[in-house]
């Protein structure tokens, strides 16, 4: 990096990344402090949690079903592509059948 312009750009980039990381860290600390205060007053509703668990399980099952379909489709497409790359054997000469 002999070009002074590149050095200035690199220093500016790393400085801005450092500032952004510090801002995010400070915001996370401030948020966690507020979350501790707010978390003490949370009331857990068992029925609601049960419905939420059921919904998450249903979503997980659907995602698994979709991924199984994706794997099946991928396998079919890869088999078709492999079959298209195989050389095709020429048709054998048709035999002349004589009628009886």
- Cβ contact 1:10 at 8 Å: yes
Q: What is the mean pLDDT of residues 57-76?
A: 92
Same domain, 33 and 47: no
Phi and psi at residue 62, to the nearest 5°: -65, -40
pTM: 0.41
Does position 41 have pLDDT exceeding 90, yes or no?
A: no
Q: Which domain holds residue 21?
A: 1-40
- 7 neighbors 1 (Cβ within 8 angstroms): yes
Percent of all residues in the chain with a pLDDT value above 90, rounded to a whole number: 27
pLDDT at 76 over 90: yes
| Band of pLDDT at residue 53, cut at 50, 70 and 90 | very high
Average pLDDT over residues 35-53: 74
Residue 73 lies in a domain: yes
Count of domains for the chain: 2
Same domain, 47 and 77: yes
Question: Would you state the pLDDT for residue 37?
Answer: 58
In angstroms, the CA 89 to CA 21 distance is: 63
């Amino acid at each position: 990096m002999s070009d002074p312009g590149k050095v200035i750009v690199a220093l500016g980039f790393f400085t801005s990344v450092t500032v952004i990381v510090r801002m995010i860290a400070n915001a996370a600390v401030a948020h966690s402090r507020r979350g501790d205060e707010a978390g003490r007053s949370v009331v857990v509703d068992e029925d609601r949690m049960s419905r939420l668990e059921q919904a998450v399980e249903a979503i997980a099952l659907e995602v698994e079903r979709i991924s199984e379909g994706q794997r099946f489709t991928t396998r079919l497409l890869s088999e078709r592509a492999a079959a298209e790359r195989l050389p095709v054997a020429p048709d054998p000469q048709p035999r002349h059948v004589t009628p009886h």
